[in-house]
Amino acid sequence: MDMSNRISHRFDYLLKKIRRSDFSLHPFRHVEIKNFFSEEDFQEITTANEISTSASNDPALIEVLLETGYRIINFPGCVTETDRYIQWHASKHSDATANRHDTCEGFGMVLRLIEPKTNILVSLNEFLKGDAWNACLAEKFDLNLESCTRDCGLQKYLDGYEISPHPDVTRKALTYMVNINNGQHSESRTIHTHFLKMKPEWAYITEYWKGNPRSNRCWVPWDWCETVKRQTANNSIVVFAPGPSTMHAVHADYDHLEIQRTQLYGNLWLNKVEVDIEPVWQDHLVRGRAGARPRREKPSLAKRIINRVSKKLSRQSPKKESETHTKLNHPKY
């Protein structure tokens, strides 16, 4: 992509920061840069009308966001009907299970700013959609930008937003997110993205994904993973190229009336990916491992003797064909 005649942009300093950044390897390969925007730019961004929204109740908040230029978007783990969301949120801790992923406890709502009006946000939107930014990210992660489609936006995630641990589907070539929360205490709120690794007893699923690139990757239950780090710092960016190990997750549980979890979020999507199957998390349950504990307690001496005797007896009385067959009921993978 030839950009030799390109006019410079006020956000070009971000390109240098990406190029000069080192990769972190834990829990998977990614770039994390703190103080991403300059102090002045960050101040101007987070005090813009579109970011510093607040209201006294849920219907008023959604109305304010819609008036400010946000639109409710279809996003994983979210509902798009305002009434359903408000109703669920009013009874958040009671039984409200409709339309949520079976690995999650709640469901949220995500809104994307479609028409920024404040100058700095108009300029930022133009920069993030432009060639220089996307080519810079693609180069950093050895991707061919020509074979990808860009998608990005400034998004707000209301309380209850949850996406359980997942590595991203195989069509996602790149994911980035920048925390641009307004308010002093965003870092201590329960709104941040977790970066995780599979617990040892479930690590075979990562290996399965490595060995089967045409099998799509799915969400898994929270307790199959452990959090290694969280992106809590305001004005920080994390970028990664999704693969079998890039487990990440979010569970927002906070009062969204004063401030809302706000991010610049973007992806590069591969235009063409071959996928043969789409297993869900239950398909990865290997028989005998369901409910498995990390370590097995050693059986007592008495138990070991009983086991040995019953094994001997079973060898003397062979099972019928049908019984043997039941034992050979292999898991799916």
Residues in touch with Fe ion (CB under 5 A) = 168
Q: Which CB sits closer to Fe ion, 87 or 227?
A: 227
Q: Six-digit token pair at 218?
A: 């799915």
Nearer to Fe ion, 162 or 168 (CB): 168
State the nearest-atom distance from the C-beta of 131 to Fe ion, in Å: 24
Nearest residue (CB) to Fe ion, 50 versus 168: 168
Residue placing its CB nearer to Fe ion in the complex, 32 or 168: 168
Smallest gap from Cβ 63 to Fe ion, in A, equals 29
Nearer to Fe ion, 182 or 267 (CB): 267
Q: Is beta strand 172-179 parallel, antiparallel or unpaired with respect to 247-251?
A: unpaired
List Cβ neighbours of 11 (8 Å cut-off, separation of 6 or more): 41, 123, 124, 127, 133
- Cβ-based neighbour number of residue 160 at 10 Å: 25
CA distances from 157 to 89, 94, 112, 265 (A): 13, 21, 9, 11
Nearer to Fe ion, 72 or 218 (CB): 218
H/E run at residue 72: strand 70-73
Please identify the residue of the shown chain whose CB is closest to the bound Fe ion.
168
Backbone CA torsion sign across 164, 169, 174, 180:
negative
Compute the least distance from the CB of residue 36 to Fe ion, in Å. Answer: 20
Enter the tokens of residue 182. Answer: 């307004």
**SS3 call for 238:** strand
| Least CB distance to Fe ion at residue 311 (A) | 47
Q: Residue 210: count other Cβ atoms within 10 Å of its Cβ.
A: 11
**Cross-strand bridge partners of residue 32:** 238
Which helix (H) or strand (E) segment holds residue 286: the answer is: none
Smallest gap from Cβ 329 to Fe ion, in A, equals 34
CB of 153 to Fe ion, least distance (A): 15
